[in-house]
Structure formats: structure tokens, C-alpha cells
Amino acid sequence: MQIHIVADAAEGAEVVADVFARTLQEAGDSGAVLGLATGSSPVPAYTELIRRHREEGLSFAGSRAFLLDEYVGLPADHEQSYHRFIRENFTAHIDIDDAAVLSPDGATSDPVAEAASYDRRIREAGGVDLQILGIGSNGHIAFNEPGSSLASRTRVVGLTRSTIEDNARYFSSPSEVPVRALSQGLGTILEARRIVLTASGAGKAAAVAQLAEGAISARWPATALQMHPDVVVVVDEAAASRLELAEYYRYSRRLEVEHPLEV
């Protein structure tokens, strides 16, 4: 796990966008399979990727994308659906076919069957090349709340009170936040070939500390990422404030920049 401690959201967005650009370059003309997250954390990176597309020619042509999750009960055109969010904040502004951006159907009459179908579609696409993640204050990634199995697959999950309260800022009141979601499982996420997680603010500091330095536990679902061979974590100073090994991470980053390995 590589930990990048950055000064602000702009610097963090550049680091995340670099990981995307490298993945797209490696995929070549066939395009990459991208795993996309919603919420406030990835937005600066999406903004930087849009800029690189428009100003530097970064292309997503041929790529496909799978969203991490969706609220149960919200149709795709609902103003708070993640289907709509990702298009308004990212994919409508780059050269990716809209039909190639897939999300769970929150309005389905059978969410259990939809979860299994969505998990299968990811596998049939060859798996995800790069998954971007945020992290909740309780350590959840996607909607894998504390107590989630580390081997879990895409499924219907109930949202905790803290997650509902965190997401209430996007709704008129907490009572309007759906109480269930369709979410990729931790086992599904861990099958991505590369993962980048971004977080900012002191409210995420405890979760980031557990993610990087805590014991692997369902109590903090993000700790499952410690088992993955290619994870980049990008956090600002506030989110990094409880990392005991922060100076080592800074040193490792300087070493990487000043004395890169010859390959």
C-alpha cells in the first residue's frame, strides 16, 4: 500500500489522475475497465481528469465503467441517484460511451437478483482494471458497513445511522435518505487489479489510520485493502493526522520521486 500525504485537494487530484492516466495508457486502444465511486471525495479527481481530457487529449475511448453502488428505491433519473451523479460530475464530460457506464438498477423490483446480475456483469467484462474509492468516517468503502464480510459480493445492504447522517447533506432531510443500497462487496472490490482511495478532512482521520495501520477486521471494512497488492491511498494533512507512520510515508514518497527505480 502506497500512502501519499498531499497538501490539498488539487494536489491529491493530480496524484489520482496520474493513476488513471497510467491505467488508460496500459490498456491501449481497447480501453480500460474503470470502477467509479460517487460522493464528494472523488470529485476533485474527476474534475482534473475532465481537464486533462479537454486540454491534454487524455482519452477514455473504448473504456467501460462500473459504479460501486446505488440506492435501493431511486430510479436512474432521480436527482440523488448515483447513476445521475456520475454522469453529471464526470462521464458526460469525457469521451466514454454512455451505454458503457453501468450502475446497479436501484428501481428494480428484485434487488437481490439485480445484485447477483451486476456482480456477474463485472466478471464478464474481465474485471476492473482500476477502482477508485472514498472512505466513510466509520471505515466503510462502497456501502460495506462495519460487520461486512471481507469476502462479500455485490448485494443489498442496510445503511448505518452514521452513513445516513453523512449522506443527508445531499437530501432535504435525513428521513429522505434511502435505508438500503445495492453495493459491490469487499470481495468484489478486491478483485480489481489496481485501487486508488482518496480522502480528506479530519473526519476521515480515524478511518484512514485504521485503513493503513490497523488490524484487518470487519469492524473497519477498508482494512481489507491491506490484502491487495496494488493500492494507492491519497489523503490530505487533516485526514493523515492520526497516522503514526506519517513521516515514513513522506520519506518513501520523496525517495520514489528523487530516486526512482530503473525498470
Residues belonging to the active site: 69, 138, 140, 145
Looking at residue 78, what DSSP letter applies?
S
| Cβ atoms < 10 Å from Cβ of 144 | 28
CA 180: distance to chain centroid? 19
Report how far residue 111's alpha carbon sits from residue 125's, in angstroms, rounded to the nearest whole number: 21
Any idea which residue has 493503513 for its cell?
212
Length of the chain: 263
Report how far residue 62's alpha carbon sits from residue 41's, in angstroms, rounded to the nearest whole number: 26
Query: For residues 168-199, b (16+ Cβ closer than 10 Å) or e, as one string?
Result: eeeeeeeeebbeebbbbbbbbbbbbbbbbbbb
- Specify whether the backbone of 113 is left (phi greater than 0), alpha (psi in -120 to 50) or beta: alpha
The H-or-E segment that residue 182 falls in is strand 180-183
3-state secondary structure 194-248: CEEEEECCHHHHHHHHHHHHCCCECCEHHHHHHHCCCEEEEEECCCCCCCCCHHH
